[in-house]
Amino acid sequence: MSSHLSDVWFSVTPLQVASGTGCWVTTTDGVEYLDFAGGIAVNSTGHSHPKVAAAIAEQATRFIHAQVNVYKHDLLEPLATKLAEITPNGIEKFFFANSGAEITEASVKLAKQATKRPHVIVFSGSFHGRTHMAMAMTTSKTGYRAGHSPLPSGVFMAPYPDPLAEDQDAEVACALKGLDHLLKSMTAPDETAAMILEPVLGEGGYVPAPAAFIHGLVERCRAHGILFIADEVQSGFGRTGKMFAVEHYGIEPDIICMAKGIASGFPFAALGTTD
Ligand SMILES: Cc1ncc(COP(=O)(O)O)c(C=O)c1O
């Protein structure tokens, strides 16, 4: 019988897994594999960490869903307080959702609301998710967009420095020149709500942003009242040696997008922003 399961997702291994513990997974025929993928950069405390499993089990006996428009409860406030402690300076307010794509979309909605401006700038090689707006903001490969046009408008792409260029100073200068040109030719500063950047390009090749590039970009945001959104869905929660990748650069984003490692595989995401 043919499978009733959609074949939308490809699989990079043929492994049929039965369970996972820590950084190991066990296949249905009993073979153990060291899991270098960690889900998809998601299982930050490993597979089925006993504390995580116990917390889920306990919570399931109290409430599985307690809709925030209907009730008040004691779950989100302590989480927001904890996030305020670990996120970069200035990030004080939190909004929660289920996935990274919802949060990158929410970040753009917030930036448009706050600035009353219609456009956003993304950078070549970006990956911000698979929903329509997130696809429009994704430029790492055509496969993520192909067959889904027309995608939402108002998204403009600026160059990201090539990490393999021999003269990195010249490469950064050239990328910033491209950004300035975009602000002159396609989206004027007073039409630009935000620039959204992965401080370390994820799907686009695992490339940390050169410091001079990220500083140049933030400088332009500050000069023009454009919000700087850090998409830390993949780079956040300790994956670069600091809690968030922006901490390596000494910069303070206006909005930070979090998902993946925030909940070690449980579908959860957060947007953090200034008051
Ligand atoms: C940088 C970045 N942003 C957003 C997303 C989308 O997150 P999700 O798959 O949870 O929707 C991803 C997922 O890989 C990502 O790497």
Q: How many angstroms is it from 100 CA to the middle of ligand 1?
A: 5
Residue 259 CA: nearest ligand 1 atom is: 10
Is 124 in contact with 139 (CB distance < 8 Å)?
A: yes
* Average per-residue pLDDT for the chain: 96
Residue 263 has pLDDT above 90, yes or no: yes
Residue 2 has pLDDT above 90, yes or no: no
Residue 1 has pLDDT above 80, yes or no: no
Taking the C-alpha atoms of residue 168 and residue 164, their distance in angstroms, rounded to an integer, is 8
pLDDT tens, residue by residue, 168-221: 999 999 999 999 999 999 999 999 999 999 999 999 999 999 999 999 999 999
List of residues 6+ apart from 198 with CB closer than 8 A: 123, 126, 127, 128, 204, 209, 230, 231, 232, 233, 234, 235
Q: Indicate the domain borders of the chain.
A: 1-66, 74-273
Mean pLDDT of 86-104: 97
Any atom of ligand 1 within 6 Å of the Cβ of 259: yes
CA dihedral 109, 112, 114, 115 (to 10 degrees): 170
Examine domains 1-66 and 74-273 and report if their fold is the same.
no
Q: How many angstroms is it from 17 CA to the middle of ligand 1?
A: 23
Residue 41 CA: nearest ligand 1 atom is: 14
Residue 156 has pLDDT above 80, yes or no: yes
pLDDT tens, residue by residue, 220-234: 999 999 999 999 999
Please give the CATH number for the structural domain made up of 74-273: 3.40.640.10
Burial 237-256 (b: 16+ CB within 10 A, else e): bebbeebbbbbbbebbbbbb
pLDDT over 70, % of the chain: 100
**Residue 74: what pLDDT?**
87
Q: How many angstroms is it from 19 CA to the middle of ligand 1?
A: 24
| Token pair for 142 | 């055509």
What is the widest separation between alpha-carbon atoms in the chain?
A: 62
Residue 260 CA: nearest ligand 1 atom is: 10
Give one word for 83, left, alpha or beta, with left for phi > 0 and alpha for psi -120 to 50: alpha
pLDDT tens, residue by residue, 96-121: 999 999 999 999 999 999 999 999 99
CATH 1.20.1250.20 holds for 1-66: no
Residue 80 has pLDDT above 80, yes or no: yes
Residue 255 has pLDDT above 70, yes or no: yes
Q: How many angstroms is it from 94 CA to the middle of ligand 1?
A: 18
Give one word for 10, left, alpha or beta, with left for phi > 0 and alpha for psi -120 to 50: beta
pLDDT tens, residue by residue, 23-50: 999 999 999 999 998 888 899 999 999 9
**Residue 68: what pLDDT?**
86
**Residue 61: what pLDDT?**
97
Task: Output the DSSP codes for 153-219.
Answer: S-EEEE----TT-S-HHHHHHHHHHHHHHHHHHTS-GGGEEEEEE-SEESTTTSEEPPHHHHHHHHH
Taking the C-alpha atoms of residue 134 and residue 138, their distance in angstroms, rounded to an integer, is 6
CA dihedral 130, 131, 136, 141 (to 10 degrees): 10
